[in-house]
Amino acid sequence: MPATVELVNTSIVVAPGSAVTATIRIRNTGRIVDEFTLVPVGEFAAWMSVGPASLPLFPDATGEASVTFQTPRGSTPAAGTYPFAVRVRSREDPAFSYVAEGRIQVLPLLEVAARMTPRTSSGGRLSRSGTHRIEIDNAGNVPATVDVSGADPDERLTVVPDRARVVVPAGGSVTVRIKVKARKRMLQGSPLTIPFQVVAAPAGAAPVLLDGSLSQRAVLPSGFGQVLIAIVPLLVVAFIAKTVIDNMTKSNAAASQSPIALATAIPTLAPPSPSPTSAPSATPAPTPGPTIAIPVADATFRGLGLFDPAGQGNPSATFGFHVDGGGLIDAKALIASGSLKICIGQQGHTATCGTGATGLEVKKTTTAAGTWTVSLVGASDGNSSTVDFELRYPAASPSLEISGIPFAGSMAKTGLDLAMVATASGALTLNASWGVTRPDPNVILSPFSSYDLRFLNVAQPGTPITASGDNATSATAPANFMLPPNAYELTLTSRNATNDLVLDGTVSWP
């Protein structure tokens, strides 16, 4: 070996929008002058630079190069820990190639902005209400939990959002509708503008204040009140005159009948009328019960690996789950490194499929409870590909059966990097196992692997709950608890995995 390579800093921490450096030390152990080139490689290479890019060294001489990590202030890369690597090559010995590896932690960034449209709404003469839209944007690299509320200083309005709390994904946006209604009607007069304020308060960040107003209109048109004031006295006089005339008419009719005529009048007896038959009472229609809203389960897989080591078939990952009622099943490839196919199907029915790359979305509507399957199918050329994948479906207690996931994702040795949004309070459970599925009978691999398991609240990151094991073929989630509507991240990593190690398991959350 013509050189020894040492990465001085193997664990780096960087905040979005800032830069940090690490040092690589190279010693020429050969007998001739050599020049060594350094190139960043791996998923994190886009945010790395090396200077100098080459080091000429005399025999037994040592040189150093700086590796600079500079991440943008934005939603990528997401908060978390990533591997990084620098490849070192020799000019004199082309066969020499050494990869120095380390890990870098990207700190969370919470950056929430909001805007209101329209600024002023106009209520009708009878409705007294208007509607506004609040667009909440998250430019940070972690999901943001935002509480939305509103009020007016004079308490003349009710300000009600359609959702009091929303979770805005990193780099995404959410729309909240605000209904504003005047508490009292205005009988007459010119339109009145009433101001109010909406507060969007992200957990862990300063609240955003938005000013708006409602233009309230009078029930009666302008000037109509004066017309009523003039007409009402005339109506009263007319009513009194009509009453006097009716009384005089009745008195004259009674006096015209003489007493003799009244005495000789023979009353005619009318036959008794039959007793009225009571109609059967109508049976009241049953009052429909309230519709129970089923929470939407939200699971996002990051850096999910699709790999076929022999290149003999289409690599795939499968997710089985149960829906608790009617709703929408939505599967979307957020980021895909290559072409893939997404299929949604129910047992005994034809699956709905779509093909594409980044942005591919397949939806399926369900009207009743049942068991469904979503599959991701990648290319069959034997090359590794990765997908950031989001799955949403109606379920009060979500549970996913996963199968066919190799330890070959965007972090090279990650089998599972899953973010879930809790809709209720409760515990997360994970039971995972893995085995070797290499199709070559002449190659014998051990399924035993050392693993690390991590559980973290991404909305309020702190010290993660971790577990690990050595020479194992399975893992279970550590003790944990989830609170709504926070998002949580579960990461299962193999320390010595290859693409031939495939993960199966079940994960459930509240």
Q: Which of 181, 216, 251 is the last residue of a domain?
A: 216
Structure tokens at 264: 């000789």
Show Cβ contacts of residue 148 under 8 Å, excluding neighbours closer than 6 positions.
Answer: 134, 136, 161, 163, 164, 165, 166, 176, 178, 198, 199, 200, 201
- Is there a contact between 198 and 149 (Cβ–Cβ < 8 Å)? yes
Q: Which of 161, 190, 216 is the last residue of a domain?
A: 216
Residue (of 173, 170, 114, 165) closest to 143 by Cα position: 170
Structure tokens at 295: 């929470």
**Can you give the three-state secondary structure of 234-261, one letter per residue?**
HHHHHHHHHHHHHHHHHHHHHHCCCHHH
**pLDDT score of 381 more than 60:** no
Q: Which residue has the higher pLDDT, 305 or 53?
A: 53
Per-residue model confidence as pLDDT tens digits over 274-299: 555 444 555 555 555 555 678 889 89
DSSP lists the bridge partners of residue 159 as: 180
**pLDDT score of 374 more than 60:** yes
Alpha-carbon distance of 191 to 213, in angstroms, equals 12
- Is there a contact between 115 and 28 (Cβ–Cβ < 8 Å)? no
Residue (of 332, 318, 476) closest to 401 by Cα position: 318
Clarify whether residues 89 and 124 are in a common domain: no
Q: Which of 106, 122, 148 is the last residue of a domain?
A: 106
Predicted pLDDT of residue 264 = 39
pLDDT band at residue 260 under the 50/70/90 scheme: very low
pLDDT above 70 covers what percent of the chain?
78
Clarify whether residues 308 and 165 are in a common domain: no
pLDDT above 90 covers what percent of the chain?
44
pLDDT band at residue 16 under the 50/70/90 scheme: very high
Show Cβ contacts of residue 70 under 8 Å, excluding neighbours closer than 6 positions.
Answer: 14, 18, 19, 47, 49
Predicted pLDDT of residue 267 = 46
User: CB atoms < 10 A from the CB of 185, how many?
Assistant: 11
Alpha-carbon distance of 379 to 274, in angstroms, equals 89
Place of tokens 């300000």: 159
Domain assignment of residue 84, yes or no: yes
- Is there a contact between 386 and 304 (Cβ–Cβ < 8 Å)? yes
Alpha-carbon distance of 245 to 234, in angstroms, equals 17
For residues 136-154, average pLDDT: 93
DSSP lists the bridge partners of residue 457 as: 488
Please state whether beta strands 385-394 and 352-356 pair in parallel, antiparallel, or not at all (unpaired).
unpaired
Clarify whether residues 97 and 129 are in a common domain: no
Domain assignment of residue 494, yes or no: yes
Domain assignment of residue 259, yes or no: no
Domain assignment of residue 20, yes or no: yes
**pLDDT score of 447 more than 50:** yes
Predicted pLDDT of residue 270 = 46
Which of 121-130, 167-176, 346-355 is least confident?
A: 121-130
Alpha-carbon distance of 279 to 132, in angstroms, equals 52
- Is there a contact between 216 and 128 (Cβ–Cβ < 8 Å)? yes
**Rounded to the nearest 5 degrees, what angle is found at the Cα of 197, between the Cα atoms of 194 and 201?**
170
Clarify whether residues 73 and 176 are in a common domain: no
- How many CA atoms, within 13 angstroms, populate the side-chain half-sphere of residue 137? 7
Predicted pLDDT of residue 313 = 61
Going from the C-alpha of 261 to that of each of 127, 252, 253, 265, 318, the distances in angstroms are 65, 17, 14, 6, 104
Which of 35-39, 53-57, 312-316, 485-489 is least confident?
A: 312-316
Which of 80-84, 114-118, 245-249, 341-345 is least confident?
A: 245-249
Clarify whether residues 306 and 377 are in a common domain: yes
For residues 129-135, average pLDDT: 93
Q: Which residue has the higher pLDDT, 225 or 308?
A: 308
Predicted pLDDT of residue 263 = 40
If 0-12 CB within 10 Å is exposed, 13-18 middle and 19+ buried, where does residue 420 land? Answer: buried
Clarify whether residues 102 and 119 are in a common domain: no
Alpha-carbon distance of 130 to 443, in angstroms, equals 70
Alpha-carbon distance of 154 to 487, in angstroms, equals 37
Domain that holds residue 118: 112-216
**pLDDT score of 6 more than 90:** yes
Clarify whether residues 334 and 363 are in a common domain: yes
Clarify whether residues 365 and 496 are in a common domain: yes
The size of the chain, in residues, is 510
Q: Which residue has the higher pLDDT, 347 or 91?
A: 91
**Rounded to the nearest 5 degrees, what angle is found at the Cα of 459, between the Cα atoms of 454 and 462?**
50
Domain assignment of residue 342, yes or no: yes
**pLDDT score of 479 more than 70:** no
Kindly report whether the peptide bond that precedes residue 94 is cis, defined as omega within 30 degrees of 0: no
Q: State whether the Cα torsion 399-169-477-480 is positive or negative.
A: negative
If 0-12 CB within 10 Å is exposed, 13-18 middle and 19+ buried, where does residue 140 land? Answer: buried
Domain assignment of residue 267, yes or no: no
DSSP lists the bridge partners of residue 346 as: 372
**Rounded to the nearest 5 degrees, what angle is found at the Cα of 418, between the Cα atoms of 416 and 420?**
155
